[in-house]
Amino acid sequence: MPVAHCVSSTAGIILDVDQGFCQLLQRARHELIGLSYKAITATADLQKSTDMLQGLVDKAAPTHLRKRYLRPNGIMVEADLLVSKFNNEGRLISTLSWTDEEQRAASPSRLWNAALQVKHLYDLRIEELGRDLFSDHVGLILVHAYLAEAEGRIASVSDIATSIGLSRDRAIRWLKLLVERGLISVLDDSVESVQLSHDGAVKLERLFSATLQPVTLDDRMATLTPR
């Protein structure tokens, strides 16, 4: 379990951090120094963080708090804090520990399961709403290519066309567009066999990670709003 340390003012302004705290927040040290706890705390946990600060007693036993931090990519990570107050120095000393759910969520087997869930939802939409109302052919093609690679299969144009219910010509047109956008790579000159590009795989795995650990709109917007 990773461990981190943070020194802050009694108002909750970060004064110093170690490398563990940078790892927890996935930010550089210079990006964290001077920030308020409000800028990195999940919206739903702000009040209990404020209550904790106001309730600290000088040189008392450390106060325990569990709360969620926001990373720049919108992912929340829950940490346990032990906070001590040293008022004669105007400092709060925090020791933090956490289980990195984002790394756990990003394991190959969990990403594969997330891809299966996304494809299952696509299939349900087609079944319930009708293929004529389903237009996300790009999403289906990319998920099909991801699953094929994860399962050690070659994604052929014929398999893709059959899987998503498109004619071969239309499937090829979509694939050529995805090649132009840098999301798909062709394995031969005939464009018969394809695979995700590195950029395509990275983008899909970000989406699958978000599927495994969704955040609220308020929390995601908090990472984009200047403090």
Residue pLDDT, tens place only, 189-226: 666 888 898 888 888 888 887 777 665 555 555 555 55
How does residue 55 score in pLDDT terms, banded at 50, 70 and 90?
confident
Among the three residues 53, 68, 99, which one is the final residue of a domain in this structure? 99
Residues 14 and 75 in one domain: yes
Residues 7 and 95 in one domain: yes
Residue 46 scores a pLDDT above 90: yes
Residues 88 and 120 in one domain: no
Averaged over 18-42, what is the pLDDT?
Answer: 94
Query: What is the token pair recorded at 33?
Result: 């120094």
Q: How much is the pLDDT for 95?
A: 92
Residue 50 scores a pLDDT above 60: yes
**Tell me, what amino acid is at 77?**
V
Residues 92 and 126 in one domain: no
Please name the residues in contact with 141: beta carbons below 8 A apart, sequence gap of 6 or more.
Answer: 160, 164, 171, 174, 175, 178, 184
Query: What is the token pair recorded at 16?
Result: 């110093």
39 occurs within a structural domain: yes
Q: How much is the pLDDT for 32?
A: 96
Q: pTM higher than 0.85 for the full model?
A: no
Residue 30 scores a pLDDT above 90: yes
Residues 196, 94: Cα–Cα separation, whole Å: 43
Nearest C-alpha neighbor of 171 from the set 137, 203, 196: 137
Averaged over 141-164, what is the pLDDT?
Answer: 87
Residues 88 and 37 in one domain: yes
215 occurs within a structural domain: no
224 occurs within a structural domain: no
What's the CATH number where 26 sits? Answer: 3.30.450.20
Among the three residues 99, 134, 154, which one is the final residue of a domain in this structure? 99
Domain span holding position 115 = 106-196
Residues 119 and 177 in one domain: yes
What's the CATH number where 121 sits? Answer: 1.10.10.10
Residue 164 scores a pLDDT above 90: no
Quote the number of domains for the chain: 2
Among the three residues 56, 80, 99, which one is the final residue of a domain in this structure? 99
Residues 10, 87: Cα–Cα separation, whole Å: 8
Residue 161 scores a pLDDT above 60: yes
Q: How much is the pLDDT for 154?
A: 83
Residue 41's CB: how many other CB atoms inside 10 A?
Answer: 22
